[in-house]
A and B are shown apart, each in its own frame.
Chain A
Amino acid sequence: MEIQQIENRLRGINIVLGALQSASRDICKNCIQLEGAKIKMGKMIKKLGMDLDAASICCEKTKADLQTRIDTLSKVAEELEVAEECTCQKTAKNCKIGEGCLINASVDLMKLVQ
């Protein structure tokens, strides 16, 4: 059960980071929402690592494989490109999509993992 839960969260994080990498190539690179999402995903990955450490997984190889995947995602999150000075791009009047936010909605994909 513990392995499955960690596995599910890893799958979710992989997709969210894929979307955020794409957002970082859009005007979202200068957006405070992306800056926040990067921090949030970093914390989520760190927590996942701690949960893996605390999990009672007998098979060392399984645990090591999960750790490797966590490390890979951690690096991807760290390398998300965010501008040094960020402002909400809606406030800056650059993002004109309406009330929604592509970054927040991407992070919310994690809610699909129950």
Chain B
Amino acid sequence: MARTRCGRILGAEIYIEEGDTTTLYFINQLRAYQLVLAALKALDQDICHDGCSLPTTVNRVIKRLGKLKNDLEASNVVAEKKESLLSKIDSFLADANRLPQDTSQTCRKAAGECLIGSGCFATGALNLFKEITVPEAPKI
């Protein structure tokens, strides 16, 4: 079966066997995590560092990554590829765990500091996951 390129995650070129939608699902998710975490790191340098939306988003990302890891472990992705992807999930989890997670802080809008309007950068960053629409999550 032909191998096709489908991403570069943490510096590694990623290929799959054509038609392997289960592996592709995990790869696509990781491509999005790579981007979302970069956006969240940028937010951490902003006033969002002292707010509650960034930690709320970070906690969601950590939870989702944990679920992705469990799903990958339980999946039929071939062993070598599974190990490689699991190590990338662990790396993203470590990155996410370095970001703020204390949700007891005041929203910067409520504090009168964030004056961008009704939108929220942290929520916007999380919404980047919505760009990934295929393939559907495998039934585990």
Contact = CB atoms under 8 A, between A and B. Distances in A.
A74 interface: no
Contact of B116 (A12, A25, A98): A12
B82 interface: no
Interface string B28-69: 100110111111011101110000000000000000000000
Chain A at the B interface: SS class: helix
Interface in B1-29: 4-9, 11, 24, 28
A39 interface: no
Given A19-B38, A102-B35, A26 B125 contact: no
A65 interface: no
Given A12-B121, A18-B41, A26-B35, A98 B6 contact: no
Interface residues of B, number: 40
Contacts of B135: 96
A19 B35 contact: yes
B74 interface: no
Nearest to A23: B35
Interface residues of A, number: 34
B120 interface: yes
Contacts of B116: 8, 11-12, 112-114
B81 to A, nearest CB: 16
A95 B42 CA distance: 25
A97 to B, nearest CB: 5
B128 A19 contact: yes
Nearest to B46: A11
B97 to A, nearest CB: 18
B130 A26 contact: no
A27 interface: yes
B115 interface: yes
A14 B31 contact: no
Q: Which 4 A-B pairs have the closest CB atoms?
A: A18-B42, A114-B117, A100-B131, A112-B119
